[in-house]
Amino acid sequence: MKVLGLRLIKKTVLLDGDEPFYHLYYGNEAGEEGSLVTTFPMPWRNAGSRGSGQVRILSLGVPEGSLSFWKRRLESFGLNTGVLERLGAKRVTFKHPCGIEYEFVETHGDTKGSWTGGGIAADAAIRGIRSVGVSTRELPQFTSFLVDGLGFVDDGMDGEDARFLIGHGQKAHVLEVLHEADRPQGSWNLSRGTVHHIAFDLPNATAQKTLKLHLEGLGYTDVSEVKDRNYFNSVYVRTPSGALFEAAVTQEKGWLKDETRETLGRELKFPLWLEDRKDEMAAKLEPIRE
3-state helix, strand, coil in the chain (%, to 5): 20, 35, 45
Q: Are 7 and 31 in contact (CB under 8 A)?
A: yes
Given this model, what pLDDT does residue 125 score?
Answer: 94
Give the angle subtended at the CA of 146 by the CAs of 219 and 239, to the nearest 5°.
55
DSSP state at residue 268: B
Which residues neighbour 288 within 8 Å (Cβ) at sequence distance 6 or greater? 11, 22, 24
Given this model, what pLDDT does residue 188 score?
Answer: 92
* Averaged pLDDT in 10-residue chunks for the chain of 290 residues: 93 89 94 93 87 96 96 96 95 95 89 83 93 96 97 94 85 90 93 94 97 98 96 97 97 97 96 92 84
DSSP state at residue 279: H
Q: What is the C-alpha to C-alpha distance for residues 174 and 172, in angstroms, rounded to an integer? A: 7
Q: Is residue 131 helix, strand or coil? A: strand
Given this model, what pLDDT does residue 290 score?
Answer: 64
DSSP state letters, 64-84: TT-HHHHHHHHHHTT---EEE
Which residues neighbour 169 within 8 Å (Cβ) at sequence distance 6 or greater? none
What is the separation, in whole angstroms, between the first and last Cα of the chain?
8
Would the CA dihedral through 29, 4, 160, 64 be positive or negative?
A: positive
Which CATH architecture is the domain 7-283 placed in?
A: Roll (3.10)
Give the angle subtended at the CA of 209 by the CAs of 110 and 226, to the nearest 5°.
90
